[in-house]
Chain A
Amino acid sequence: GIQVEQSPPDLILQEGANSTLRCNFSDSVNNLQWFHQNPWGQLINLFYIPSGTKQNGRLSATTVATERYSLLYISSSQTTDSGVYFCAAVSGGGADGLTFGKGTHLIIQP
């Protein structure tokens, strides 16, 4: 099945800093999503982005499907941005579920 790798695994930043999280995937994708898992364990949908670029406030994402990677940008970080960010994908040939990366653990210090 598809492999999804995220980097970096951990990231510690000061409030106000910008960050870029990367997701590499091993096959063509029908679906690529970014999630934020908050301290209470809930998975919050950030972006559905199998290709192209999207923006939502301080967050934006770009997926270059032909090169099999996606980037999540966080600008002007706030402490509430802390948590784990997951990238997940459904491969082009599969009808099964999302394959998740191991996540990037982001800590924003005040």
Chain B
Amino acid sequence: EAQVTQNPRYLITVTGKKLTVTCSQNMNHEYMSWYRQDPGLGLRQIYYSMNVEVTDKGDVPEGYKVSRKEKRNFPLILESPSPNQTSLYFCASSLDYYNEQFFGPGTRLTVL
């Protein structure tokens, strides 16, 4: 089944404890991206990757890092999480930036 997977689906952590949210797609897509969703602010892009060689910041990159070492995986790294990073996170992928994007199931992160 063609899909985007994210892990973990739910995470409660404490301020400053490094964490990684994994994202993987099995559709051989070049383009991958991360979004966060917050009440009143909607969905906003954090980082995107055109391919394994090109990664760039989205609208809200502060406090996040990403890595694209292979086509299928695009992990989101929070090196020192803070409470304002409590959010619902989505990974997405598509053939290219203008093609239909497919979203993972989401990761609910709470930082205490």
Contacts and interface: CB of A to CB of B under 8 A. Distances in A.
Interface of A: 30-31, 33, 35, 41-43, 45, 48, 50, 86, 88, 90, 94-98, 100-103
B98 to A, nearest CB: 4
Nearest to A100: B43
Contacts, number: 56
A2 B50 CA distance: 19
18 contacts: A30-B98, A31-B97, A33-B100, A35-B103, A42-B103, A42-B105, A42-B106, A43-B103, A43-B106, A48-B100, A88-B43, A95-B50, A96-B45, A96-B97, A97-B33, A97-B48, A97-B101, A98-B43
Interface string B18-33: 0000000000000001
Nearest to B50: A95
B106 A31 contact: no
Interface string B31-65: 00101000000111100101000001010000000
Interface in B88-105: 88, 90, 92, 97-103, 105
Contacts of B100: 31, 33, 45, 48
Contact of B42 (A42, A50, A97, A100): A100
A41 B98 contact: no
B108 interface: yes
Instruction: Report the interface size class on chain B.
Output: 20 to 34
Contacts of A45: 100, 102-103
A45 B33 CA distance: 16
Given A42-B105, A42-B106, A43-B103, A97 B45 contact: yes
Nearest to A37: B37
Contact of A97 (B88, B92, B106, B108): B92
Contacts of A43: 90, 103, 106
Contacts of A97: 33, 35, 45, 48, 58, 92, 97, 101
